Chains A and B, each alone.
Chain A
């Protein structure tokens, strides 16, 4: 797969991130967290709930600057822009689906043709609806549309398929792969769902529980189109051989 315009990888080297709780006790969330995502690669950050995955993502998104260490975002795309799909769709309820997508675009892309993207995501008939008129699954598709429309240099996804029923989540994973394959972008997705990670990613960065650090890397060598249910359960077995105790 050809990386589009991206030259540098995503490089993360966070020495430490601590939180002060309300009682003034400091909690170390991340410690010596170092990993890299190659250009055009889809990587998953896998770890148990509450291990600091979302914290890592917030740091990379520039929403949390209270940490020691450094990171480097890939360049390329349109003006080195980043895009994110949050745990909640975070659509503006007072703007239509199409306005929500276009508002996230830089000025020079505001009027670009989005027909293809909306078609791929099955949102063609919903462009003029308000988010309250969408089901959660559709709202998440709109959030995906917003992220991909910006043609980012790197895409961050924070458990975008939680609180969906199994079928809808599967459908969305396929849609995600469809839009991602159309324009492979360096992507980092946070998840605690191993099967999801094995279905979607090129490599899985396995995190240890708090304070989070990298336990190891699992490369999913099998091309995505060959990941049948049987192949996935083979992958699952070899993953468990390499990381016993990680679910």
Chain B
């Protein structure tokens, strides 16, 4: 309640400020009309300048009033309003029929137009001057221009000023006339105006170059005209440093005045546009909050938010319970946010629900949190829970496939050990037995020959069994030659006719080949067990999946081939069984 009353009060104060400003402006123009033969303002000298003068000042005041109604741009609004008022200071100074005190006051405020605009641009988009260098620049501008104008008001007697033109008669603030110091102060004022104008150009340029896509788009309406203000004010200062006597009838001075008016007008329009687009964004956020509250779309929060804020680079991440990791909506673990991203936290009570990574120029953090009401937060919470569940699923999937791969690796090692160890030793034993038998035969020891013959036969039988065992543990040809030769061998050895379609000749990742092999092997055993007289096998690549399909003419299945399904599932594939058909799809990339 206190907040809203404060807002209403502030709004009224602002309205009063705007009204006062308009009165000031109208009075200034009336005084222009009453000017004598001697032209003391640009507005009096030139119809175009009169229009430009009026439009620029009123635009700054109007844009300022508009900006001041929004909390985010309130400071910018006040600065723009002040700049507009100061802008009309020159008209007051030159108004010959006005009170001397008003003419003197006009001369004091005029130099502040540039200072207020300098502050405004450096404080865009939300009223905060971010870098410490910029803060120093703003403070220095206020201090220097403030001190110089006050000193000048106290010391300058217009009658003694060689280059006076707007007001050569009155100075209500004069305490002690010193033409030398007053002249020097004029020079200081011009130099500081030049410095501020150049500072404005440098700062605006760096903001523009440093920003990223959406942020740059958002800043351009203010930063772009700021460059023009800097350029026209710098030109003005340089011209006055070279030609101290300002004369609105000279084309150069008139052109500079028109350029200054135009650039301030554009800046004011840019500010107004920014304010309107911020409130558009807020309206979108409110709509978004309603949408989320009414119809949550799982996994789509990021896209919805990106569209609402027109920031395609936006990321929505969810903190994982306990670990402090951030995960995205699909449950993938995300990198920690980069330093140049703004982070907005969405919380429920003091529990973090989500973090939104966005472009810092677009929207400020409390607004996002406020805009999402409790209904929307419920859907964000749903999304966070969904992401958590997906992350767990992913971890489980990874562990399943690791178990399968570890088991395969162990089998492969066992097969290799058998091949390189026991089988080789049995072979060597066999050679020795053959040699011994040959030498026994040479000595005609028939009994020994028959014993050695039997031993050699036993050894061969053992080798044969060992070979089959090793092949059953892990088919070496699968690793060595690939899926197609290995499946062809399965068909060679099958107890029922197996017809193979065209086999894909390429190699696949080892777990994929092994799984496809197991599917075919088990399908053969299953079909034979159901009394089939024939099994058809199709193996083929379909985009990023290896598809194994079989059909047979056996009795309908009642089992579910659970271990084959598990193996396919461990690689994230799908496994479907019908009465006599089987289809496995294994991701292979």
Do the two shown chains form a genuine complex with each other?
no
B residues neighboring A (CB under 8 Å):
none
